[in-house]
Amino acid sequence: MFRDSTSIGGVTMKIKTVYIDDVPSERNKYERRFGEHELSRDRFELISLDTPKCLDDYNVIRKLSPQLILVDYDLSRPDSNRDVIGISGLTLIAELKQHYRDIPIILFTKKSVFDNNNLSSFSSLFSVVDKVIYKSDLFKKESVLLDELYNIAFSYQELSKIKKIKWDTIFKLLGAHDDDYDKIKYSATPAMLQKEFTITGIAKWVTEVLLQYPGILYDSLYAATFLGICEEEFMSPQIQEYFSNAEYSGIFGKNRSFWWKSKLFDIACAKMDDEELDLPIREAFHRYWERVNRIELDKSVCVNNGDSPAEWVCYILKKPTMLNLSLPYSPDTRPEVMDEARVSFKAIKTTNDVNPEMIDSIVRDQYYEIRRSRRK
């Protein structure tokens, strides 16, 4: 869902975008596509360039003052002198990042470049890249990538306007509430805790931590499960209006919807009676709603046994699950302040996507028992 709050005086801000590709037909193709597509023509001003080979080429880029740079990965096409520049897009991005620290630089490339789409083997190289976008996905129907791209560039612009970044300014940009300040700080990188703020560092933290892991902010699935209702119910106009003050409207959030967990809690509890307040939110909210509005809400349903309301979200199946029918899972390096990841018994039984090495050792035997039970 794209919420256009990026316009000034009714005019959408256009992002000046440099696209670097050594293949002329690719440059022409994307200049045309960006200029014609309804989701890009008013938001991006695309200037395509060949791979820079000398100081003059870099000066061309500098004079354009881009707000976003897209770089193809494969730059191995020989030039007119039949010389091959000999660097990949990643190397070029690393070079560009030294000069353009405050704008996003995206690896924009074909899927076939990476074996079987397996990016993990390249992950150590991707630290210089702000995002990887596949060419084939950008203009697909139903794709949200153009919104994402715009959102990233716009958010970088917001960040770069700040002369001296402090925690107060970050909280303001996030639209955070006092109650969440400590939690937000606990999720920050060591560099940020030492007040070494860089725009790229903040951007990566917001997109790869704060918006990536549930705990401080929730997407619709986690928000719904937290309230004990199904996702469809949560997205209904009535519920959305009720929780409108909990919606996240900070940087990097404009193309996806998130809600502050603390605000969901406050709003849900605000008018509950004492009996409802003694219950967990997932039990209390639908009771309150039924009492006040005479409407029965559909509850979140456990993917294992159909019980409701479910209590957590299965990391693998992305479905609600009961706590006692799930095991703790460590698939990533999320900060402790975030919600723990859990995998449902159903995911263990019916998929091969659960890595037993990531299951908490105290219950790993239980994982194997569940796997064995499939065969019975």
Partner 1 sequence: MRFVVHGGSKLMEISEYPQNLKTFLDKYGRGYLDYSTTSSLYKTVKDMGELVDVSKNKKRKTPPSWAVKIERNKPLVFVKNKDNLQVDICCDIQGKGNVVTKQNIELRVWSLNQQMSYRDEVDSLALKDELEIVNWKRVISRFHFDLKTTDTTKPEPICHLQIGGDSGSCLSEGSVSIKENCWHPSQLSIPRFFHVPFDIILICEFILVNFFPNESLDTRKKPEWVQLVKKSEEFFCKEYIKKCFDSLNDSKQTMLGNLAPDPKK
Residues 243 and 264: their CA atoms lie apart, in Å, by 7
Kindly report each contact of residues 96-102 with a partner whose C-beta sits within 8 Å and lies 24 or more positions away, as own/partner.
Answer: 96/61, 96/69, 96/71, 97/128, 97/200, 99/58, 99/62, 100/66, 100/69, 101/198, 101/199, 101/200, 102/156, 102/159, 102/160, 102/199, 102/200
* Minimum separation from the CB atom of position 322 to partner 1 (A): 7
Residues, the chain, total?
Answer: 376
Q: Is 28 in the site for partner 1 (CB under 8 A)?
A: no
Residues within window 272-291 making contact with partner 1, judged by CB under 8 A: 278-280
Query: Which of 133, 311, 316, 317 touches partner 1 by CB under 8 A?
Result: 311
Can you tell me whether residue 163 is helix, strand or coil?
A: coil
* Minimum separation from the CB atom of position 324 to partner 1 (A): 5
Residues within window 4-23 making contact with partner 1, judged by CB under 8 A: none
CB of 227 closer than 8 Å to CB of 269? no
Give the CA count within 13 Å in the CB-facing half-sphere of 344: 23
Window of 56-64, 130-138, 162-170, 324-332 that interacts with partner 1 by CB under 8 A: 324-332
Please give the structure tokens belonging to residue 232: 């469809």
Query: Which of 327, 341, 347, 348 touches partner 1 by CB under 8 A?
Result: 327
Window of 97-105, 152-160, 169-177, 326-334 that interacts with partner 1 by CB under 8 A: 326-334
* Minimum separation from the CB atom of position 361 to partner 1 (A): 9
Q: Is 307 in the site for partner 1 (CB under 8 A)?
A: no
Query: Which of 62, 232, 365, 368 touches partner 1 by CB under 8 A?
Result: 365
* Minimum separation from the CB atom of position 208 to partner 1 (A): 24
Number of residues engaging partner 1 in binding (CB under 8 A): 15
* Minimum separation from the CB atom of position 328 to partner 1 (A): 5
Angle at CA of residue 209, ends 145 and 213, nearest 5°: 85
Three-class SS of 67-118: CEEEECCCCCCCCCCCCCCCCCHHHHHHHHHHHCCCCCEEEEECHHHCHHHC
Can you say how many angstroms the Cα of residue 170 is from the centroid of all Cα atoms in its chain?
18
Q: Which is nearer to partner 1, 168 or 274 (CB)?
A: 274
Q: Which is nearer to partner 1, 67 or 308 (CB)?
A: 308
Query: Which of 244, 245, 249, 324 touches partner 1 by CB under 8 A?
Result: 324
Window of 263-271, 288-296, 297-305, 323-331 that interacts with partner 1 by CB under 8 A: 323-331
Window of 46-54, 157-165, 201-209, 363-371 that interacts with partner 1 by CB under 8 A: 363-371
Q: Is 90 in the site for partner 1 (CB under 8 A)?
A: no
Dihedral, CA of residue 203, residue 208, residue 214 and residue 218, to nearest 10 = 50
Rg from Cα positions in the chain: 24
* Minimum separation from the CB atom of position 215 to partner 1 (A): 13
Residues 214 and 127: their CA atoms lie apart, in Å, by 22
Query: Which of 328, 350, 358, 371 touches partner 1 by CB under 8 A?
Result: 328
CB of 174 closer than 8 Å to CB of 251? yes
Give the β-pairing of 105-109 and 217-218.
unpaired
Q: Is 323 in the site for partner 1 (CB under 8 A)?
A: yes
Residues 344 and 15: their CA atoms lie apart, in Å, by 43
Residue 365, classified by CB atoms within 10 Å of its CB into exposed (0-12), middle (13-18) or buried (19+), is exposed
Q: Is 362 in the site for partner 1 (CB under 8 A)?
A: yes
Query: Which of 228, 326, 338, 347 touches partner 1 by CB under 8 A?
Result: 326
Q: Is 322 in the site for partner 1 (CB under 8 A)?
A: yes
Residues within window 219-278 making contact with partner 1, judged by CB under 8 A: 278
* Binding residues vs partner 1 (CB under 8 A): 278-280, 311, 322-324, 326-328, 360, 362-363, 365-366
